[in-house]
């Protein structure tokens, strides 16, 4: 079975809801910057599809444990209670949370909406390339006047 199949089978609709709530807690939307939440469909789908090797299993088990830690499922809690549980998670789930964080950051910061909110063009670097100013070459003048200082042999 390939990584993508394992990932989509691990995150059935219930676990997906927990994942959405957790991602939204980690990176919530921000109106001032017009930045979307990490829990929007595009990003969640990308996160699930981008987990490879044993990542779906590690993250899936972490979410299951998260749901066992309070009387209600994580996604049913209010914002403050979610944040408390997430803070606890940061103390107890180092490896699993790091695995999820890596995938999340990779997917969030390549999302069109996110890049647009940062004023960046949502495209591949090639073929258009980028403009970089030549700069003020007169800045080199003090160095030009310096005597050669490599060691003679």
Applying CB under 8 A, which residues contact another protein?
25-28, 30, 32-33, 35, 50, 83, 86, 90, 98, 101-102, 105-106, 108-110, 114-115, 118, 120, 122-137, 139-140, 142-144, 146-153
Q: How far is the CB of 105 from another protein (least distance, A)?
A: 4
Interacting residues of 21 by C-beta distance below 8 A, sequence separation 6+ = 39, 74, 75, 82
Q: How far is the CB of 149 from another protein (least distance, A)?
A: 6
Is the CB of 3 or the CB of 76 nearer to another protein?
3
Query: Nearest to residue 40, comparing CAs of 49, 52, 27?
Result: 27
Is the CB of 11 or the CB of 24 nearer to another protein?
24
| Distance of alpha carbon 114 from alpha carbon 48, whole angstroms | 18
Residue 55 and residue 96 in contact, taking contact as beta carbons nearer than 8 Å: no
Residue 99 and residue 59 in contact, taking contact as beta carbons nearer than 8 Å: yes
Q: How far is the CB of 53 from another protein (least distance, A)?
A: 11
Is the CB of 14 or the CB of 123 nearer to another protein?
123
**20 membership: H or E segment, kind and range:** helix 13-26
Is the CB of 2 or the CB of 127 nearer to another protein?
127
Cis peptide bond N-terminal to 8, omega within 30? no
Is the CB of 1 or the CB of 139 nearer to another protein?
139
- Side-chain half-sphere CA neighbours of 33 within 13 A: 14
Q: How far is the CB of 59 from another protein (least distance, A)?
A: 15
Q: How far is the CB of 41 from another protein (least distance, A)?
A: 18
């Amino acid at each position: 079975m390939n990584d993508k199949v394992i990932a989509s089978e691990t995150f059935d609709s219930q676990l997906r809801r927990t994942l959405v709530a957790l991602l939204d807690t980690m990176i919530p939307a921000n109106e001032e910057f017009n930045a979307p939440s990490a829990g929007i469909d595009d990003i969640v789908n990308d996160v699930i599809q981008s987990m490879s090797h044993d990542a779906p299993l590690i993250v899936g088990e972490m979410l299951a444990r998260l749901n066992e830690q309070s009387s209600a499922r994580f996604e049913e809690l209010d914002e403050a209670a979610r944040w408390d549980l997430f803070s606890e998670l940061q103390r107890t789930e180092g490896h699993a949370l790091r695995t999820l964080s890596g995938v999340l950051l990779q997917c969030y910061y390549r999302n069109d909406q996110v890049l647009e909110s940062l004023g960046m063009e949502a495209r591949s670097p090639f073929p258009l390339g980028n403009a970089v100013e030549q700069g003020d070459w007169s800045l080199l003048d003090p160095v030009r006047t310096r005597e050669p200082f490599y060691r003679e042999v």
